[in-house]
Amino acid sequence: MTIRQVGIVGAGQMGNGIAHVFALSGYDVMMNDINEDALRSAVALIDKNLERQVLKEAISTADKAAAMSRIKTTTALAELGPSDLIIEAATERETIKTAIFEDLLPHIKPETILTSNTSSISITRLASRTDRPEKFLGFHFMNPVPIMQLVELIRGIATDEATFNSCKEVVDRLGKTAATAEDFPAFIVNRILMPMINEAIYTLYEGVGSVQSIDTSLKLGANHPMGPLELADFIGLDTCLAIMNVLHDGLADTKYRPCPLLTKYVEAGWLGRKTKRGFYDYSGDKPVPTR
């Protein structure tokens, strides 16, 4: 099918980035969130990020204006009904995602493709709770969406070839690169990345190095653009913990056991940049290590 209209559920960090790239690529976007303020903030952020691209001469002023005109917002999930493709980008909790898909089903067209931007949850299991497992796919963007080039496409056990091909064509039109992943816990990127971050937290927990020394070591010793603890704060420690729990539960291997220090930080509400405190304190002009 030809995809022209795209519905996005969730106006947070991932949702607004996905809306940005789709609108810039010529798709009509309807962005949904239960919070009107979140929608307003998302639109303002998209406008700011597009303006940054204009200043860098990556796009023209006309491109920005056209992209902004293609973005509509709503707090009513039913208004996503006319969408050809829906991308769920809500909180990384299976119960929330399942409830969203169940609420969407009465309103969407028979041919609408449903996808999830989940970073770890089983696509097969999410698809099984809908009326169209053959038209369900994992559509995992990397953060920040406008900058990162990769999109993981994850087939569930029932996903048909037409659905996969339609979504692959969308990725190509967005100017990004698709990597095909099988439906195993955390797929490819997070299956490799999250245990590395978890190990860095264990290294801190066991006193092998400080926050500063661990991040400096990986940046200068492994040529990583960002240290693992800095990256964990950027992703969100609650998201890191959720993915490690999916890996630990799904693969039943002790090497995926979340570090107790990660759990403790999440229990304290120290989730990283979004709460202004994680492995770094972000309340001042410059991030300061908290350990």
Contact between residue 90 and residue 46 where contact means Cβ atoms under 8 Å apart: no
Residue in 117, 140, 166, 198 annotated catalytic: 140
Residue in 32, 117, 119, 166 annotated catalytic: 119
At residue 76, φ and ψ (nearest 5 deg) are -100, 115
Q: Tell me if 13 is assigned to a ligand binding site.
A: yes
At residue 288, φ and ψ (nearest 5 deg) are -120, 130
Q: Tell me if 7 is assigned to a ligand binding site.
A: no
**152 in active site:** yes
Q: Tell me if 10 is assigned to a ligand binding site.
A: yes
**20 in active site:** no
H or E stretch including 178?
strand 177-181
60 exposure class (CB count in 10 Å sphere: 0-12, 13-18, 19+)? exposed
Please tell me the distance from the alpha carbon of residue 204 to that of residue 211, in angstroms, as a whole number: 7
**CA distances in angstroms from 53 to 57, 58, 141, 174, 209, listed in the order given:** 6, 5, 19, 16, 38
Q: Tell me if 149 is assigned to a ligand binding site.
A: no
Please tell me the distance from the alpha carbon of residue 209 to that of residue 229, in angstroms, as a whole number: 12
Q: Tell me if 33 is assigned to a ligand binding site.
A: yes
**117 in active site:** no
Residue in 83, 116, 120, 190 annotated catalytic: 190
Please tell me the distance from the alpha carbon of residue 234 to that of residue 13, in angstroms, as a whole number: 10
Q: Tell me if 15 is assigned to a ligand binding site.
A: yes
Q: Tell me if 119 is assigned to a ligand binding site.
A: yes
Residue in 94, 116, 120, 152 annotated catalytic: 152
Contact between residue 90 and residue 100 where contact means Cβ atoms under 8 Å apart: yes
Q: Tell me if 238 is assigned to a ligand binding site.
A: no
Q: Tell me if 274 is assigned to a ligand binding site.
A: yes
Contact between residue 138 and residue 165 where contact means Cβ atoms under 8 Å apart: no
Q: Tell me if 156 is assigned to a ligand binding site.
A: no
Q: Tell me if 81 is assigned to a ligand binding site.
A: no
Please tell me the distance from the alpha carbon of residue 95 to that of residue 73, in angstroms, as a whole number: 24
**140 in active site:** yes
Q: Tell me if 143 is assigned to a ligand binding site.
A: yes
Q: Rg for the chain (alpha carbons), in Å? A: 19
Binding-site residue numbers are: 10-15, 33, 92, 97, 119, 143, 274
Annotated binding-site members for NAD(+): 10-15, 33, 92, 97, 119, 143, 274
Residues with a catalytic annotation lie at 119, 140, 152, 190
